[in-house]
Structure 1
């Protein structure tokens, strides 16, 4: 859990008031103006102050907690994110329980979040105004509100939708469509995350339904900072035509839910020009050599200097199995990327990013700082190329024992901060290839 996140009774109460029409009595208990009808006929009419205090106490007693999990001595609960676009994992593992074997059996239960995890989610988006504004979350909040019974002008009750739950917090958890994995053990353990990943592998191996530990993008502030530059109503017709291959890579990046895939999709746009730009650079080096006033075709040493240029490049290509990618990347940036525009795009997206790149390395990639503003543009492009290339290498190379190394999901937050730099760079490359319609 991030240091900024606080889970307390006040935030839970604030979240409840945001979602429901509730009234507080003299005892501090809360009553719904419109009760919620369950499938079994039971009615949930509110929540007591004692239940809120109990849930808060349970969360505070967790031995370990982070963005997507809570661990106690004998149990843990993990938020899960499905890795397929049609939600096969959620459908297959909705409200399922699996009992382990042996002297100390472990129970795995999948389904909607517990009261405690629902309260945590409530606190999470209550503290972040950006989360409250996302279209998907507004839709989810409307779904929760629609569970309440309403009355016609004659007083007859209309039930819009009913579900099974034992408390108001469970109602919220079910309506938010979050899936969690709840693990319980007969003895104290410290390896709950290992158990969770073992279960997820076992599930994927046997059912082809894949999920990972993590927070749904609805509740992650980084994921909601989309680059919407205009409202739909003011969108104009395009004035340029763009290369289809570049467009397809760009669309893949915009649509990707996994940061690794998003980053690589944008990188492929730059990579598209590597061989062409690299060969052009070689031709320019040779042309510069033979057109220099000091060059003479009659002097062997002058001819040999040109041969050395070509031989050196050929040797690099042979050793690396292709063009020198870092050099090619820098050449692509030199040709297509305007540094001041890149800085402006980053500022418009997140005003902290330019300073972040200038003062922070990328630990999982061994990539150094990149000063984008206030210096020489050529030096800036060189630093950007090195940072981008090392991040890319960390994503595609994962040999055992090599450090630094990207760990899937574990480094997603760090990688997410690198995506804007790669995306805005790729956008300039695409636009530079545009043809006026």
Structure 2
């Protein structure tokens, strides 16, 4: 027996039956989501709510994810099988700026205080050498390059907001560790996923450049540029970046493709703020983004994994990657004025809004964003990862800002 799902037919195999039991899809709140995804009963395009409603539900979810732990960090995800996970240093690090931004937007001090609690928690889990641990804190505390770099976002923003040098000192220790374990080629492979370099380490270079701006220590800038130049050498004429996935033998997730693009885009904008379009890193990010936009315009659907010819290899959507891609397109619209990027981002945002359950009585589901749509897709299956929600919030806030600016330019009230 088959039923239609996004991108094609979904067969009820023994694996799906095992999943039904293993991930406790039989529970009422879980079953509701499972059936919605099975029959693709998303909200129609015209039925999604205003961004403010979707934003508030998402922020409520992130607050519950923080409250689900007792330490001030943010739970890595809500899992249908096991409930809330432990706090996750990497994503707590980059959720901090989101909370500060939402506090500014709403003028609600509660979000600012929550951000500071997250930053204070990060100080307690920093390892002796300056690194931050991989995975959530329920696992052994092993240093990890990428995770350390993402903690920098939170520490640097906390310093900017408070002037408390404790945060900057911790960021400096993290930056020093990143520089110390970098290879001569500009890559990072030690203390990294599968002990191999990744193109998405452009997201390591970007916070190092932020740290350079804060401290004026050239060692951080030099390490970042060395890595970015290596990543440029991986780009193919069609915009694709080799080594942009977790594994060599697996089609990369949109999540890591979007990381690669984002790190290049933001690094280039930092290095040449007055003329970002002339920056080679921004140009590389634009080339890859145009390839993704072209695929999206053809299919009207964003797949969760691609091969090096930009051909979709799966029929599910990676929702975190969708939101990261939306942010990249919005930023490219901001930099280039190319309206195609804005239009694509608005469509991606509406798609993900249509998958967000605003009314579930389950606190782990209501307002959250799934890893995959449908939820049995390969990326973070049967779970609601906190980073998908964070990128969702960032994308909607940026959309609102840019659309408001566009209306002002056109004289629309």
- The normalised TM-score by structure 2 is 0.24
Give the number of the structure with larger relative contact order, counting CA–CA contacts within 8 Å between residues 6 or more apart. 2
Larger Rg: 1
Which one has a larger percent strand, Structure 1 or Structure 2? Answer: 1
Which one has a larger percent helix, Structure 1 or Structure 2? Answer: 2
- The normalised TM-score by structure 1 is 0.24
